[in-house]
Amino acid sequence: MSKQLNSWFECRKNELMIAGHRQLIVLVGDLDWALAYFGQLSAQSDDKQAFTNLLVTDFVLSEQQHAEQLARSVEVTNKNHRQLLGSEYQHILLAAQSFNPEAFAALSGTLVAGGSLFLLLSPAEYQEPSYFLQRFLILLKQQVGNGVYLLRQGDEKDLIADFAGADFGSQTQSQGLPKCDDNRAHELSGEFAYQCATADQVKAVEAIIRQVSGHRHRPLVLTADRGRGKSTALALACVELLNDVDEKNATGGVIDIVVCAPQLAALQVFFRQLSINLPEAKVCLQTGTCQYQGSTITFYPIDKLLLDKPKCQLLMVDEAASIPVYLLTKLLANYHRIVFASTVHGYEGAGRGFAIKFKKVLNEHYPNWRSLEMTQAIRWREGDPLENFVNRSCLLDASLAAANCQQFSQANIDTLSMRLVTPSELLAQPYLLEQVLAILVTAHYQTSPNDLQLILDNPKAQLLVLKTESANIEQVQVVAVTLLLSEGANSGISESEINGVIDGRRRLKDQFTPQSLINHCGLFSAFDWQYLRVLRIAVHPDCQGLGIGRYFLGKITRFAKQQGGDVLSTSFGLNSELLWFWQRAGFSLARIGFSQDQASGEYSGLLLKALNDSSAEFAGIATTGFYQQLPYLLAQQYQHLSANLVAVVASAWPQSVLPVLTELEEYQISAFAEGKMQYDSCAYALQHWLIIHLVELAKQLKPTAQNSTTSVLPLIKRLLIRASVAEICAEFGFTGKKTLNQYLIDYVKRHYSRTTRITST
């Protein structure tokens, strides 16, 4: 590094510290050069911190490179960058083989004031950029010289203020590198209560504390952008509550707090702050627990929290946007003092979708709920150029335009047009791209900056939008969006690669559907078919409930047929409402995963819809195979499925594998209904009848209705899921086995005589 460049960097660092800002420096060159450059800066870092620098790379470093970097920085790969969220770094180098927008956006939030984020691009990426990088570099050009800079290998004097390539050597300091102004200063914040860093944090801590002593049934919703100290506020409030517990409190001198999050790793900041501010407490991040003078703080994932229902004086849900709204609604029924905290946009989840959907639930059932927004950043100050660039380049600040959808009904819904939008069109129409991302982020809690890259760069991806017509692009209303991914046949997959998948030796990128059908269903011909997978589908929140989603899916089906597709597929976290929608659209389950999603607590389902007669037989084999195994799986691998969801799954039982009631089974069912035979003697026959009954119930319901009535749920729990009597009684309020058994008898007596007795297929 030249003396002039080194001098400039030190000057910029001081300037940034005074302003409370960070900067981005894009490096264009090879890895060795970037590591050497980063190493020189690392050597100048503040020695007061144990780790002040971070290297993120998926390159295989030489032993010398590895040793040199470990001596002065933390080293992680792109894939495990999330484990560092909540940490703090002075300098970060992102040096990956391909640009990872999610890591770029997420780790930018760990950079402290005065810090620099270095992003390495290869010369090839810079000279022939992808669509995503084209947009990225255009935005870089617009902001370069204002906290964003470019440094190219071999021309290190050219840290340009003019993106076109001004000559550093021929410019004065004021024309080239930003002038270092040591006289610039900002008022430093004073000390705040509760060890808080901002006034916003103080308000948040006090609001959380009031949840324990204030009125019940008044949930607090705490929202914040990234880096506002939300998780720390939760921890500081807990510290205050644990310290203030005494014999006068209703809690009897101790307090038990439960904290929930998509995964324990998301609570690193929370538990670290507990250990710092409660040094005498026994804090264990590995187990997610804190014990202090008889009081406890315990982490529960959402599925276990709903299952165990632990008692507590306060429930806190961090990153609530990553948890489906219907599960959050269940928490409201179980707990009376709750804090829901979430990021309103960014890598953590679709915070704006959470805000829109969940607040509707709160307004309807808890009109006295409270809301608090944190806007003051902790690690940097307002106007930070790095935050501004990250938000723009990754579209984290995409705003959702209001849509007037009440004009659409079944009579005129066909005035909406669907069209395929190409990446080049999206680059040429930034407003359209922003609306597409805003709708996706609002609807899907797992949407991330990587989705923007996928839309623009993946040649197998196709983006369809449903929109109004207008000559002025900015007057066009985007009503719905879907992202399709081509898989299977005609994807350029070789026979050896397919054999590798069959043998369990290979895992191919962007081939989820055929690989899942091979690995989990044993359908080795899966790659013979061409699939279009519905990766994302979202309807504008102002337009939901009007039949637009169903209409859109019909148009998507016709599009897939025109593309020569054999099968439409989709995979998502199952809940009864979503599954009911997809089944009504002609999709059938091919499998349900055996493990629950860490964030949502849901089981993932794979659904298929055949698009021609040839593929119908293949898809039918997958579906019938799943349902043939289902009675066994429900009592084992799927025992934690909700009865509501099982009702919807069973309602689509294929006729070809529907149980056939024998004459003996019919007698046993009648005898049970009349109290002549015990439950255990008739359970097998009753199970068969219940499956048939659920199919019949579905036929009686309107197409728009969700398939289940609450009265049948105890039977599903007893006969299909085969839960214990104690569990069923606790869930449905029965006083014991006798009352549960009588309920089963009464239900069968009411419905068996009206059910079609199927004795043949």
Residues paired with residue 485 on neighbouring β-strands, in sequence order: 461, 533
Judged against a pLDDT cut of 60, whether residue 691 lies above it is answered with yes
Strands 220-224, 53-57: parallel, antiparallel or unpaired by DSSP?
unpaired
Residues 385/143, Cβ–Cβ less than 8 Å: yes
- When pLDDT is averaged across residues 419-437 and rounded to a whole number, the result is 95
CA 146 to chain centre: 33
Q: Which runs of E-coded beta strand occur in 192-323?
A: 220-224, 256-260, 282-284, 289-292, 295-300, 314-317
pLDDT reading at 448 higher than 60: yes
- CATH number for the domain including 316? 3.40.50.300
Give the percent of the chain with pLDDT over 90: 59
- For residues 462 and 611, membership in a common domain is answered with yes
State the CATH number of the domain containing residue 478.
3.40.630.30
pLDDT digits (tens, 9 = 90+) for 25-40: 999 999 989 988 887 7
End-to-end CA distance of the chain: 80
Q: How many residues does the chain have?
A: 761
Distance set, CA 364 to CA 276, 327, 361, 402, 518 (Å): 40, 16, 5, 22, 46
- Last residue in a domain, options 323, 343, 374: 374
Long-range contacts, 62-67 (Cβ 8 Å, 24+): 65/32, 65/35
Amino acid 564 reads: G
Q: Which domain holds residue 525?
A: 413-620
Q: Are residues 449 and 597 in the same domain?
A: yes
Q: Residue 223, SS3? A: strand
Kindly state whether residues 481 and 519 are assigned to the same domain.
yes
Tell me the chain's radius of gyration from C-alpha atoms.
29
Q: Which of 56, 26, 47 has its CA nearest to residue 90?
A: 47
Kindly tell me if the per-residue pLDDT of 339 is higher than 90. yes
Residue with tokens 């409370």: 20
Q: Which pair of structure tokens corresponds to residue 646?
A: 């099982």
For residue 541, tell me if it sits in a domain.
yes
Residues 451 and 582 in one domain: yes
pLDDT higher than 60, residue 17 = yes
Give 51's Cβ-side CA count (13 Å radius): 16
Residue at 28 is within a domain:
yes
pLDDT at 471: 61
Q: Model confidence over 180-199: pLDDT tens digits? A: 444 433 333 457 999 898 99
> Quick check: is 644 in a domain?
no
Residue predicted with more confidence, 181 or 68? 68
688 and 609 both lie in a single domain = no
pLDDT above 90: residue 72: no
Amino acid 71: pLDDT: 54
Q: Are residues 250 and 103 in the same domain?
A: no
Asked whether residue 132 falls in the same domain as residue 197, the answer is no
Q: What is the CATH number of the domain that holds 142?
A: 3.40.50.11040
In a domain? residue 631: no
CA-based nearest residue to 168, from 5, 382, 296, 351: 5
- Do 352 and 233 belong to one domain? yes
Residue 407 resides in a domain: no
pLDDT value, residue 474: 66
* Mean pLDDT (whole number) for 220-246: 89
Which secondary structure element, helix H or strand E, spans residue 352, and what is its range?
helix 351-365
> Do the beta carbons of residue 447 and residue 400 sit within 8 Å?
no
- Indicate whether 85 and 162 sit together in one domain: yes
Q: How far apart are CA 456 and CA 452, in angstroms?
A: 6
Sign of CA dihedral 132, 135, 139, 142: positive
Q: Work out how many domains the chain is built from and give that number.
A: 4
Query: Residue 18 CA to chain centroid, in angstroms?
Result: 36
Cβ atoms of 693 and 755 closer than 8 Å: yes
Q: Are 334 and 247 in the same domain?
A: yes
pLDDT score for 145:
87
Q: Are residues 145 and 228 in the same domain?
A: no
Same domain, 85 and 50: yes
Instruction: Please report the pLDDT score of residue 756 as a whole number.
Output: 47
User: In this structure, is the dihedral angle defined by the CA atoms of residues 751, 752, 753 and 755, taken in order, positive or negative?
Assistant: positive
Distances in Å between the Cα of 535 and the Cα atoms of 427, 461, 562, 660 are 21, 9, 19, 37
Which comes out higher in pLDDT, residue 314 or 228? 314
Residue 391 resides in a domain: no
The answer to whether residues 119 and 107 touch, using CB atoms and an 8 Å cutoff, is: no
The 3-class SS string of 163-207 reads CCCCCHHHCCCCCCCCCCCCCCCCCCCCCCHHHCCCHHHHHHHHH
> Where are the alpha helices (H) located in 22-143, listed in sequence order?
31-43, 63-70, 101-108, 123-127, 131-143
161-170, 407-416, 499-508, 604-613: range with highest mean pLDDT: 604-613
Q: Which long-range contacts (CB under 8 A, 24 or more apart) does 518-522 make?
A: 520/591, 521/590, 521/591, 521/622, 521/625, 521/626, 522/625
Element (H, E) at 114: strand 111-121
Residues 375-389, mean pLDDT to the nearest whole number: 91
Instruction: Say yes or no to pLDDT of 504 above 60.
Output: yes
CA distance 406 to 408: 5
Token pair recorded at residue 651: 């309602």
Confidence (pLDDT) at 580 = 94
Cα separation, 352 vs 373, whole angstroms: 13
- Chain position carrying tokens 């079944």: 410
Q: What is the pLDDT of residue 73?
A: 65
Mean of all residue pLDDT scores within the chain:
86
Q: What is the pLDDT of residues 300-324, one digit of tens each?
A: 999 899 989 999 999 999 988 878 8
Does some domain include residue 89? yes
Q: Measured between alpha carbons, how far is 153 from 738 in angstroms, rounded to an integer?
A: 80
Which of 320, 343, 374 is where one domain is finished? 374
Overall average pLDDT of the 424-439 stretch: 94
Mean per-residue pLDDT, 487-513: 93
Q: Is the pLDDT reported for residue 209 higher than 90?
A: yes
- pLDDT for 130 equals 96
- Domain membership flag for residue 443: yes
- How confident is the model at residue 552, as a pLDDT? 96
